[in-house]
Amino acid sequence: MDVVQALARLRVVPVIVIDQPDRAVPLARALADGGLPVAEITFRTGNAAEALRLIAAECPDVLLGAGTVLDPDQAAWARAAGASFVVAPGFNPRVVDYCTVHGIPVIPGVCTPTEIEAARERGLHLLKFFPAEAMGGQAYLKAVSAPYRDVQFIPTGGITTANLEGYLSMKNVLACGGSWMAPPEWIRDGQFDRIRDEAAKAAAIARAHVAISG
């Protein structure tokens, strides 16, 4: 199964800010125990690459992505650390080109028609819609994506269990991302049961939605 198929099956991507390497493996296991064996580790801390490396080594069943990748150096660190895909908040052609050349799936962030078209020009058809809620949520995504029938989105930014199902019910939404399942303070404080339970709630919504639409 490739990364896109795996994300389509999981439908929810926990977005992680982690600064304590010793928390990385318990965090990944908590998500997997909750039914979401996937994590996007963001380059928002100095220890992101180390967290990626540890999870890649210890949790091969977890689909591992790197997030907040802002330049080709970070993309290279993500690749070296064992990330299977790269996510970025915006469309940076240098990041996209690095990933394309090195064969690592990349999901750049977009929120305007111009950005969607820039990504399509690079042959990308799965894009992060960011920041989803601040840009106008489902109504905006529906309007901005209408002309682009060959593009799917991963809305991220302001998504919680309260609005997850609405996004997942949109035809062109492959999955949703968000930090609500594992906020940095829960990770810092070692609240892994809480993370597992929140992941389980999200996984249940994803499963219920798949069952309804399928």
Smallest distance, Å, CB 17 to ligand 3PG?
Answer: 8
List 50, 128, 133, 198, catalytic entry: 128
Smallest distance, Å, CB 51 to ligand 3PG?
Answer: 15
Smallest distance, Å, CB 26 to ligand 3PG?
Answer: 21
- The sheet carrying 152-155 orders its strands as 109-110, 126-129, 152-155
By beta-carbon proximity to ligand 3PG, the closer residue of 30 and 154 is 154
Active-site residue, 58 included = no
The encoded tokens of residue 178 equal 């968000």
Rounded to the nearest 5°, which phi and psi values hold at 173?
-100, 115
CA 3 and chain centroid, separation = 11
CA distance 9 to 56: 20
What residue ranges bind ligand 3PG (CB under 6 A)? Answer: 15, 42, 67-68, 130, 156-159, 177-180
By beta-carbon proximity to ligand 3PG, the closer residue of 81 and 132 is 132
Do residues 56 and 64 lie in contact, with contact meaning Cβ atoms separated by under 8 Å? yes
By beta-carbon proximity to ligand 3PG, the closer residue of 150 and 185 is 185
Instruction: Give the CA count within 13 Å in the CB-facing half-sphere of 99.
Output: 30
Active-site residue, 40 included = yes
Nearest to 15 by CA among 169, 139, 198: 198
CA distance 179 to 24: 15
Smallest distance, Å, CB 24 to ligand 3PG?
Answer: 17
By beta-carbon proximity to ligand 3PG, the closer residue of 108 and 178 is 178
Instruction: Name the residues annotated as catalytic.
Output: 40, 128
